[in-house]
Each structure stands twice: as structure tokens, then as C-alpha cells.
Amino acid sequence: MTCDFAALTNLDPADPDAAQRLLEQCTATLTDPTLWIWAIVFTVVCAAVGALIGKYKNAVARDALLGAALGPIGWAISLLLPARKPLAKCIACGKPVDAGDKHCRHCGATLSPSPAAVRGRG
Ligand SMILES: [Zn+2]
């Protein structure tokens, strides 16, 4: 007896032992380590492809998580999402900061605003 819909529809209602055997078979299928190893491998591969997409979108962690959680749907979302802001370098410590940040997240130095961030007032 295999765990599928055919076995369920052909189940004899007068034989409770058959239902019990089907339930045990389905439980064994769901707790099979091979199934879980494949699920983990699939998740890791999806995360790696997501990270590869994220490398070009400047958002490796975001796109790796999307790939791991949603698989190919996450890849599509990653491809459709806009790229993150390009990185700039702090003038004080030289570490990477997001373009448009007001302060360096590493040393706290005040960064000069980019021309796009200036609103024309003041
Ligand atoms: Zn700095």
C-alpha cells in the first residue's frame, strides 16, 4: 500500500486495519530522512541562487532569504525588486556606507549629503 489518493479512495470502510496501515505508511513517508535531506538540499540551492541574484542587486542576504523561503518565486521577486543603493566610502574611516547616509555607521562621522538628498531649502 502506498501513501497516495488512489489508496485513500480505494480504502475499504469496513476494514479499520486498512486505514491504520495507510496512516502508518503516510507517517513513514513524511518522516523519511531522504525526503528531509532533499528538502534541505533544495532550500540551500535556492538560497545560493538567490544570493547570486542578490550579488548583482547589492542585497545578498535579502535575496538569499527570499530564495530559501520561496524558491523560484523568491528568485522572481529578487529580480523584480530594485537594486539597493550603491555603497559609498566614509571620508573619515574609509569603510563602506550607504550613499545618502547622514552619518557613518562605523565611526559616526558626519557625511556630506549627496546632491539628490539636498531638497533646495535652507
Ligand atoms: Zn566612518
Tens of pLDDT along 14-73?
988 988 999 999 999 889 999 999 999 999 999 999 999 999 988 999 999 999 999 999
Say if CB 116 and CB 100 are below 8 A apart.
yes
How far is residue 98's CA from residue 100's CA, in Å, rounded to a whole number? 6
How far away, in angstroms, is 102 Cα from ligand 1 center?
11
How far away, in angstroms, is 52 Cα from ligand 1 center?
28
Predicted local confidence at residue 37, as pLDDT: 96
How far away, in angstroms, is 96 Cα from ligand 1 center?
8
In Å, what is the CA distance from 111 to each residue of 61, 93, 98, 101, 108? 25, 11, 10, 7, 9
How far away, in angstroms, is 111 Cα from ligand 1 center?
8
For 12, phi then psi, to 5°, come to: -80, 115
How far is residue 90's CA from residue 68's CA, in Å, rounded to a whole number? 33
